Amino acid sequence: MKRILYISLGILSLIIISFLTIHKLMAKTPQQPYKEIATLGDLEFRYYPEAIMATVKNNDTTLQGSSGKNFRVLAGYIFGGNASNEKIEMTAPVHMAFEKGTSSMSFVMPQGYSLNSLPIPSGSNIELHKSDEEYVAVIRFGGYASDDKIKTKQDELNDLLKKQGIEHNNNFRYLGYNAPWDFLFRRNEIVVGISKDAAMKLNNQKI
């Protein structure tokens, strides 16, 4: 009995250490800066300043079909697949958008880079560009994302905004914060753009 107890305690200790290690590693990954404007139940409203992005597109509109292909291209770029053989720090989140006939994935470039200072991609299918500043509505969910879950959460976000009388630009995106092998503390988000006036109204109400 004592042996079983010691083995159980050992396994529990390893699980706790794994939890803490993964959580610590996630905390070290630079994240795209934003300002929280307001919260309303499960809804969060944010302001994102402009950022430098590296974006790749393909004609596969499923998460499973497009994510691996797009990720490999962008990862190759930041891991040295560029004209300068320069390694660029990975950031979070990864932006993904799915439209009719096409999908896109974007990595946010670390702060301190400009379009002129970034190394030129080795492949021509990567676009370096500035994103526009924007105000967005956000909902979070855990676990692993799937096409069905993304669609469900997108509909949920749409319904929540509709109930509050808040219009959006229909530009839904999925934000992923974890590598595929991170099975703990997974963070996923669906975001959609709203107007500055709507965001400021929420901020003034101090929800």
Whole-number pLDDT of residue 43:
96
Average pLDDT over residues 171-196: 92
State the pLDDT confidence band at 4, using cuts at 50, 70 and 90: low
Between residues 50 and 123, the one the model is more confident about: 50
State the pLDDT confidence band at 1, using cuts at 50, 70 and 90: low
pTM above 0.85, yes or no: no
Q: Which domains does the chain have, with CATH numbers?
A: 31-47+133-205 (3.10.28), 50-130 (3.20.80.10)
Q: Is the pLDDT of residue 115 over 70?
A: yes
Q: What is the pLDDT of residues 127-144, one digit of tens each?
A: 999 999 999 999 999 999
Query: What are φ and ψ of residue 184, in 5° steps?
Result: -115, 155
Q: Is the pLDDT of residue 206 over 80?
A: no
Exposed/middle/buried for 47, CB within 10 Å: 0-12, 13-18, 19+?
middle
Q: What is the pLDDT of residues 70-107, one digit of tens each?
A: 999 999 999 999 999 999 999 999 999 998 889 999 99
Whole-number pLDDT of residue 117:
97
State the pLDDT confidence band at 151, using cuts at 50, 70 and 90: very high
Between residues 196 and 19, the one the model is more confident about: 196
* One-character DSSP codes across the chain: -HHHHHHHHHHHHHHHHHHHHHHHHHHHS-B---EEEEEETTEEEEEE---EEEEEEES--SHHHHHHHHHHHHHHHHBT-BTT--B----BPEEEEEETTEEEEEEEPPTT--TTTSPPBSSTTEEEEEPPPEEEEEEEE-S---HHHHHHHHHHHHHHHHHTT----S--EEEE-S-TT--SS--EEEEEEE-HHHHHHHHHHT-
